[in-house]
């Protein structure tokens, strides 16, 4: 569900005046507007939403096992806010929801495609592993990357992609270690990961309908695995509804 005019629901506690927008007819020259409600772009607007228990969010997902209760909740929300029912969940915060005969699959295919384009990949060459095996990366290898800001933005985007792509988690973790000092070798590693994503955009997380909701986790660590600090590296993986 989508809440219309989200920021207009917040009551202002401070006295805020606003310069009239173009085309607004005022009773006298040089008059100003006294705001009674919050507006989008006002510095108080996000704070008002948080302090009111997040009731003024823009998009809402309602889920549950009882359709009747979901319907009553939506009717209750309609009495307090102007809302639009978007129907069955298919797309939310760049998260795509696919309903398959075997279960529900979460992907970020469009988000991954936009990331590949943003990274400037100009060819169709792909690789089948996110990183080279048994490669040790150091902070002083190679020359400094010419655009560190772009590197930061792209790695941050990759972190969000790991929500449905746990197969790239370790590679993203390695790239995140070079956020302060990014070198060209990191760029080479980054491009390899982008090529891997380019060749596997349709991958995601499948929640099978025939699997029980069983949570299972594994963890392990090596000894002095980091080539820079000689600290050990811990790895872990979690399985939910895994057959």
User: Is the same domain home to 27 and 105?
Assistant: no
Which of 151, 208, 144 has its CA nearest to residue 175?
A: 151
Whether 205 is covered by a domain: the verdict is no
Question: What Rg, from alpha-carbon coordinates, does the chain have?
Answer: 24
pTM (global) more than 0.75: no
End of a domain among 87, 115, 149?
87
CA distance 129 to 171: 10
User: Is the same domain home to 12 and 79?
Assistant: yes
Q: What was the pLDDT predicted at 107?
A: 96
Q: What was the pLDDT predicted at 157?
A: 93
Strand-pair partners of 237: 218
User: Is the same domain home to 82 and 102?
Assistant: no
Q: Which domain holds residue 223?
A: 211-243
Whether 181 is covered by a domain: the verdict is yes
Whether 242 is covered by a domain: the verdict is yes
User: Is the same domain home to 83 and 100?
Assistant: no
Q: Which residues contact 100 (CB under 8 A, 6 or more apart)?
A: 206
Residue 25 in this model has a pLDDT that exceeds 90: no
Q: Which residues contact 60 (CB under 8 A, 6 or more apart)?
A: 1, 2, 3, 77
């Amino acid at each position: 569900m989508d809440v219309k005019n989200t920021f207009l629901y917040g009551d202002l506690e401070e006295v805020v005046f606003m310069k009239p927008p173009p085309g607004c007819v005022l009773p006298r020259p040089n008059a100003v507007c006294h705001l009674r409600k919050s507006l989008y772009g006002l510095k108080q607007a996000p704070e008002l939403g948080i302090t009111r228990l997040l009731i003024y969010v823009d998009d809402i997902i309602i889920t549950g096992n009882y359709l009747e209760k979901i319907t009553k909740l939506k009717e209750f929300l309609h009495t307090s806010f102007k809302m639009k029912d978007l129907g069955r969940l298919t797309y939310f915060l760049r998260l795509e929801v696919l309903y398959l005969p075997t279960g529900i699959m979460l992907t970020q295919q469009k988000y991954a495609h936009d990331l590949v384009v943003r990274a400037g990949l100009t060819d169709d060459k792909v690789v089948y592993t996110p990183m080279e095996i048994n490669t040790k990366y150091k902070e002083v290898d190679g020359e400094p990357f010419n655009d560190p800001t772009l590197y930061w933005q792209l790695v941050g985007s990759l972190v969000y992609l790991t929500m449905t792509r746990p197969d790239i988690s370790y590679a993203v973790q390695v790239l995140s270690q070079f956020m302060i000092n990014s070198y060209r070798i990191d760029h080479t590693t980054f491009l390899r990961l982008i090529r891997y994503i380019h060749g596997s955009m349709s991958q995601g997380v499948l929640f099978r309908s025939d699997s029980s909701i069983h949570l299972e986790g594994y963890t392990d660590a090596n000894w002095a695995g980091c080539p820079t600090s000689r600290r050990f590296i811990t790895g872990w993986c979690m399985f939910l509804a895994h057959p």
